[in-house]
Amino acid sequence: MAGNRCGKTTCGAAEMAMHLTGAYPDWWEGKRFDKPIRAWAAGVTNESTRDVVQEKLMGPPQRESEWGTGMIPKSAIGGVIKAQGISGLIDSVGVMHVTGNYSTLQFKSYERQREKWQGMGLEVLWLDEECPEDIYLEGLTRTNETKGIVYITFSPVAGWTNVVQRFLTGV
């Protein structure tokens, strides 16, 4: 949680790329995964997920030839499934992990509602911008069985919400 335009999303994308590939710098003291992971990266709308989150991870959404110029290197991209109905939006991508097997990244949006977030277990969930509390809680549930992580990159522009309160008071 920090002010606007200070690099939160770039940092979030860099962390996601490390977890997907397993290529951690020596100085990294955070959580490490020694096997391929299942991950979701999400934004407020399908369009903002494409234009911000996906672009930081993959490169320009409308120029497939430049996918691999974001935080995920081209050499690690193993296959892309495009989303239906929104130009340039990716549904999921396989990312080569240092073990030689593939991690899976899916792109989500908050506008899909909590019910579309149910089901599978995840090792990593990155939420870009503050999400509704029900989606945050559903995200935590996705990582329970895996002892995974959830992180949010956001500015508290909506004020003292329940999600902000959870970070600042631990409640």
Q: Which residues are catalytic?
A: 129
Contact yes or no for 57/124 (Cβ under 8 A): no
Q: Of all residues in the chain, what percent are helix, strand and coil, respectively (each to 5)? A: 35, 25, 40
Reported residue count of the chain is: 171
- Secondary structure class of 100 (helix, strand, coil): coil
Q: Tokens in use for 35?
A: 């096997």
